[in-house]
Chains A and B, each alone.
Chain A
C-alpha cells in the first residue's frame, strides 16, 4: 500500500541544510498496524505528514496504492485526503467553532456526501464512540478523552483505508489512553491500516510492527511478537 524509497527531508536555513529524514526506505501493506517511535525531534511527525501527503519529501519516491504520490497534483492529493486517509492528532485539533456533530460531519461535507446519508453516518459514529449525548457541545466543553474520541470519529467517519495518528494519547492520562488504543486496535481489526506515533512503550505494543527512528534514520523495524502483546 505504502512504499517509500530514498525519502529525504531537509530544511535550508541561511547557513546550513538540516536533515530531518535521511534516506528512508519503508514498505507498509494494507491492514498493518505500525507504530513509529523515536526521541523527540527524530522526524516522526515529519514522516507521518509525508505519508499523509500534508508535507512533501525533499527527495525520494513515495507510492501510495501504486500511485506516485510525489508527483500527484494538488487536486489528486485532496482526493487522497477525502477518500483514503484519516488523521488523529495529539492536540485533538477539533475545530473550535463547530459542535462535535459538525466536526465529525466536516470530512463528509468535503467529500460531497449527500446530507441524508451524512446524517446516518455521523449518527453511527456518535453511537459507536458513545458520544451521542455530547453531539451538540463545542470541543471546549468536552474532556480530553471525549475530544479525542470525537477526533477519531471524525478521522474514520469517511471510511478511510489509512489512519494516521500522531501521538493520539499524548495529551491523555493513561486510562483514557488505553481506551483509545483499544479502539484503534479494533479499527485495525476491521481492516483499516494504522500508522501511529507514540512515546509510550505499552501503547506501542498495540501495533503489530514497531519502527524506531532516530535523527531521521530508521534504527530498527521489528514485528511485535505475540507473546509480548498485552491481553
Chain B
C-alpha cells in the first residue's frame, strides 16, 4: 500500500492523464455538493441537540378558519393554558413548557450601554423539556420569580464581567427593569425557537397589556413543547387531549355552532418540524446536489477510464509479473484515493474561501452545520463515493484482458464513453432548465405587483421616542426637502398582521378571521398608494378614532354573511376593537409575502396622530412606525438624513430607519439564496460538462486522427468532416437532453405546487435550454476537432 501511494504521487502530475482536470471537476462537484447537502442535512438537524430529542414534540394548533372550508390550518402556537394543561391532564406527558416571544430588542444596562438580543418569556418547566446546560443560577427559581431573567453565554459575554445581579431594560419597554439571575449556554442556530434572554413567565403582565398565560382559548401565541414518557406514541394521547378540550374549552358547543371540527391539537416531533416546512426546498436542493455530484463523478470516471486505457499495457505487465486482480485494484484504489482526498481537501478549502458568500445565501453561519446529524451522513456519502470512484476504475483496470492490452487497446471503439458523456449532457440540461425556471419564478416574486407602492418609502420605529415629541418629529421630517409625505401606522404589509375575528351581531359567532393591521393615520394609505375604491379614505376631521376600512375580500364576505348590498356605513364587531363603522373598501394587497401570503381579508383602523401620541403616553411600549414618502428626485442620502432626524429624538441615538422596497426584497431572501444556489450549480455543472467534452473530443480526435487525415486527403473539406463528427455527438446529446428536461419538468412542477403565483412553464423554456446545451456541445466539438483537422494530414499519418 505504501508502495502504491509512492507510485501515485509519481504519476500524479504526469501529462496526458488529465489529472488536473479530473481534480478540478471533482473539486467543483464536491464543494457544491457538500455545501448543498450539508444545508439539507442541516434542516434535518434542527433541535436534535436536545437530549432525548426523539421524545420532544411541539404542540400545534389545527384550526378551521371558516365555516365554508374544510381545511384545517396548523400553527406551532397555542393558548397559554394548553402546555400546563397537557402536563396535568394527559397521562404520558412527562413534562410540558411554554414560551412567549417578545422578539428581538435592543436593551440597555445600567451603565447606558446598549446590546441586542432575542427575548422570550418562559415558564419554570422550560429546562425540563428543552434543557440547556446552566452555567450559573437556578433556572427553576429564576423562571418563577417576577422580573428576573436568565441570559445566554453570548449575552453574558457581550455584557462582560459578572452578569448576575445586573439590571437590564428593554428599549421596547422603557422602565421595566429586569434582574439577571443566571446564565445558560447559548442555543445553537439550528433551533426552531431561538432566545437569548429568558424572562420569567410570571412577568407577562409587565410586557403585555393582556396576560393570557392561563387562557384556554384565544391569545394563541405560546410556543408549547412537551416531552413524552419513553415509549409513548403521541397518537395514543388523542383521547386524553380531547377530554381536556371538552373540560376546559367547551369544545362541543363550538363544534355544534361551526358544524364540525373547530380546533384540534397535534404533536409534531421537534426534530422534524423544520424539515417538514422546507420539504419542497429540500426536494429540489437534494436533486440538484446529487445531479451535480453525479455529473462531476461521471466526468471524473470518464476521464479516469480514458487515462487508464492509455495505461492498459501496464495492467498486463503487472499481471505478467504475478499481480492478481486484487493487487491491481489496490494500485488504482490508492491512486484514486489520493486524487479524491486532494479534491476533498481542496473542496473544503474552497468552501472556506467562499464562506462569506455562502453564509449570505443560506442565512446562517456555516459552522452551525458542523453537527453529528450533518457530518455522519455526509461522511458516509463521501466514503461511498470514494469507494465507487476507486472501485469502478480499479475493477475496469484489473479486467483489461492481457492479450488485447498488448495490442492497441485504445483503438477500440468506446461506446461507453459516449454513454458517460451523455449522462453529463442530461445532468447539464436538467439543471440549466431548472435554473431558468427558478430565476423566472424569483423575478416574478420580486417584480410582482404587491398591491402597494414601495418606491422611495422609508419607515422608522418610534420606540424610545417620548410621547410628547412624536408630533415634533413628524413636523421636523415634513420640513425636509424631498420628503413628500409623512404618516403613522401600527404595522406594515411586509410584516404581516395578527389575526382577529369578525363577529356576527351580538357576538354569537365568529364569521371569519381578518389580517388586522390595527391603526393608521390619514396619510398611511396614500403613502403606500393603496386606493380606497368604495366609500372614502380616512381624513383628518372627517374620520373618527376606530373608523374602519376593509379589503374587497372582506367586504364580499360581509355581504354574504350579513346579506348586505353595500358595506360602507355598516357596523362590524371585530375582536380587540369592538364595534366600528366601515368607512370604505380597498383592493386586497399581498399581506406578508407572495411565498407566504396571508390570504385573509385585511382591515385598518383610524387613529389620528394625536391618538398615537396619547396611547404612547399611557403605555410606553405601544409600538408604531413613521412612514416617509420621498420624491423621485430626492436622490440618495435620504436614509441618512431621516436617520439623523430620528436620532435627535432618541436618547441613545439608535434609530432604526429602513427602506421599504429593500426590506420587501429581503423577505424573498430564501428564494434569492435558492436562485443563487441554482446559478452556482449551473456554473459548476457547465464547467464540468465542458471539461468532459473537451476531454472526450480531444481523445476522440486523437483516436480518429488517422481517419481525419484520410478523409482530408480524399478531398473532404473541414465543414464536411466537422458535420460528421459533431453529428456523432449530437445523436447522443439529443436523447440525453430530452431526458434532462423531462426530469426538470417533473421536479419543477413538484416544486411549484405550493406557489400561489406560478410562472407558466412555457415550452420555449425547455426548447431554449435544450438548444443551448446542444449548441454548446457542437461549439466545443467544432473547436477541438478543427484544431486536429487543421494539422497537416501527411504528418498525422506519419505519426501512426
Contact residues of A with B, CB < 8 Å?
45-46, 49, 52, 54-55, 74-75, 78, 81-83, 87, 89, 93-98, 106-107, 109-111, 154, 158
Contact = CB atoms under 8 A, between A and B. Distances in A.
A81 B403 contact: no
Given A54-B402, A55-B403, A93-B313, A74 B325 contact: yes
Q: From DSSP, what is the main secondary structure of chain B's interface residues?
A: helix
9 tightest A-B CB contacts, nearest first: A82-B322, A110-B322, A55-B403, A54-B402, A81-B322, A87-B320, A78-B324, A107-B321, A97-B10
A86 B316 CA distance: 13
Contacts of B316: 54, 93
B11 A52 contact: no
Contact of A109 (B3, B10, B317, B406): B3
A98 B323 CA distance: 15
A110 B323 contact: yes
Interface in B278-329: 313-314, 316-325, 327
B232 interface: no
B320 A81 contact: yes
A81 B321 contact: yes
25 contacts: A45-B406, A46-B403, A49-B403, A54-B320, A54-B403, A55-B402, A55-B403, A74-B324, A74-B325, A78-B323, A81-B320, A81-B321, A82-B322, A83-B322, A89-B406, A95-B318, A97-B7, A97-B14, A106-B318, A107-B322, A109-B3, A110-B318, A110-B322, A110-B324, A111-B322
A154 B323 CA distance: 14
Contact of B317 (A55, A74, A82, A95): A95
Given A97-B10, A98-B7, A78 B322 contact: yes
Nearest to B320: A87
A116 to B, nearest CB: 16
Contacts of A78: 322-324
A128 B314 CA distance: 26
Interface string B633-656: 000000000000000000000000
A49 B403 CA distance: 7
Given A49-B403, A81-B319, A98-B7, A75 B324 contact: yes
A82 to B, nearest CB: 4
Nearest to B407: A45
A49 to B, nearest CB: 5
Nearest to A110: B322
A115 to B, nearest CB: 11
A161 to B, nearest CB: 14
A54 B321 contact: no
A1 B246 CA distance: 97
Nearest to A78: B324
A70 to B, nearest CB: 15
Contact of A154 (B10, B319, B321, B406): B321
A2 B14 CA distance: 42
Contact of B320 (A46, A52, A74): A52
Given A55-B401, A93-B320, 4 more contacts: A74-B324, A97-B10, A109-B3, A110-B323
B14, B318, B406 — most chain A CB neighbours (10 Å): B406
A96 B321 contact: no
Contacts of B10: 97
Contacts of A49: 402-403, 406
A158 to B, nearest CB: 7
B319 A54 contact: yes
Nearest to B405: A54
Contacts of A94: 317
B329 to A, nearest CB: 13
A158 B322 contact: yes
A82 B319 CA distance: 9
Contacts of A106: 318, 321
A93 B11 CA distance: 17
B119 to A, nearest CB: 66
A45 B403 CA distance: 9
A98 B3 CA distance: 10
Contacts of B7: 97-98
Contacts of A54: 316, 319-320, 402-403
B364 to A, nearest CB: 46
Interface in B323-371: 323-325, 327
A54 B315 CA distance: 12
A46 B404 CA distance: 10
A125 to B, nearest CB: 14
Nearest to B404: A55
Contacts of B403: 46, 49, 54-55
A189 B505 CA distance: 121
A73 to B, nearest CB: 11
Contacts of B323: 78, 110
B402 A110 contact: no
A138 B10 CA distance: 11
Nearest to A55: B403
B391 to A, nearest CB: 18
B773 to A, nearest CB: 34
Nearest to A9: B403
A206 B322 CA distance: 28
B400 to A, nearest CB: 12
Nearest to B402: A54
A106 B321 CA distance: 7
Contact of B321 (A46, A55, A110): A110
A144 B402 CA distance: 23
Contact of B11 (A46, A81, A97, A110): A97
A106 to B, nearest CB: 5
A93 to B, nearest CB: 5
A74 B324 CA distance: 8
B799 to A, nearest CB: 17
Nearest to A82: B322
A83 to B, nearest CB: 8
A227 to B, nearest CB: 36
A55 B407 CA distance: 13
Contacts of B3: 109
Interface in B709-745: none
A122 to B, nearest CB: 13
Nearest to B327: A110
B317, B318, B325 — most chain A CB neighbours (10 Å): B317
Interface in B433-463: none
A201 B780 CA distance: 53
A52 B3 CA distance: 27
A52 B317 CA distance: 12
B3, B314, B322 — most chain A CB neighbours (10 Å): B322
Contacts of B325: 74
